[in-house]
């Protein structure tokens, strides 16, 4: 409702409550009614994280469990989740192997993975997750398609460095993703190299 006289608005609101008002009646000549189409304001999920338990392990000696947490959304109880596992590329693996950005996880030193630029939705994109790229190799896996479960596990892995990507979708179809990295050490204690990484 729009009116030149604010008092008219107050009177109309009061009369609307008892159903005795016609907003376009002659009693309120300065008032007119405006309508808009229905729309929804929806923010993309944000600030989520992906966790791996454990973050570092020897090959085939531990069952990894992946989970997503801390997503912010208007209806977090309606979020859907999926998980991807992408083997790091040879160049990223080589960098991680000699990284100066290591940090301790318990008694193990764990490399910090570089950010990954990957497309999870558009199969025509050059950086679609199945294509491989400068940061990950082909041979990745969709571990869990859209589900109400925010965790996936348990799975053992061969030696290598891996990106674990968690994607979330809200009830309006808006998506967002986050990632973490895991390090799987060779059983013989040797350094992880391109020769013992998963994938072609």
Taking the chain (200 residues) in consecutive chunks of 10 residues, what is each chunk's mean pLDDT?
Answer: 66 67 56 67 89 87 92 94 95 76 51 88 94 90 96 91 96 94 78 40
C-beta neighbour count of 109 within 10 angstroms: 12
Structure tokens that stand for 148 in this block: 């109400």
Contact between residue 168 and residue 179 where contact means Cβ atoms under 8 Å apart: no
Token code pair at residue 94: 């080589």
Q: What pLDDT does residue 198 have?
A: 38
Beta bridge partners of 86: 163
Provide the pLDDT for residue 37: 75
Nearest to 110 by CA among 125, 123, 97: 97
Look at residue 151 in the predicted model and tell me its pLDDT: 97
Any idea what the Cα angle at residue 114 is, between residues 173 and 43, rounded to 5°? 25
Whether 45 and 73 have beta carbons less than 8 Å apart is answered as yes
What pLDDT was estimated at residue 58? 84
């Amino acid at each position: 409702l729009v009116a030149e006289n604010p008092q008219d608005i107050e009177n109309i609101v009061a009369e609307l409550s008892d159903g005795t008002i016609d907003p376009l009646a002659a009693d309120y000549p300065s008032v007119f009614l405006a309508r808009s189409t229905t729309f929804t304001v929806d923010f993309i999920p944000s600030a989520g994280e992906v966790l791996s338990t454990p973050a570092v392990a020897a090959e085939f000696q531990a069952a990894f469990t992946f989970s997503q947490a801390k997503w912010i959304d208007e209806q977090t109880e309606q979020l859907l989740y999926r998980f991807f596992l992408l083997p790091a590329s040879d160049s990223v693996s080589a960098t991680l192997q000699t990284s100066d950005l290591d940090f301790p996880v318990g008694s193990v030193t764990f490399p910090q993975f570089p950010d990954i630029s990957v497309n999870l939705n558009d199969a025509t994109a050059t950086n679609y997750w199945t294509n491989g790229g400068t940061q990950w190799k082909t041979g990745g896996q969709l571990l869990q398609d859209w589900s109400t479960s925010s965790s996936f596990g348990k799975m053992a892995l061969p030696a290598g460095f891996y990106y674990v990507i968690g994607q979330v979708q809200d009830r309006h179809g808006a998506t967002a993703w986050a990632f973490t990295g895991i390090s799987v050490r060779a059983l013989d204690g040797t350094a992880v190299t391109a020769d013992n990484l998963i994938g072609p």
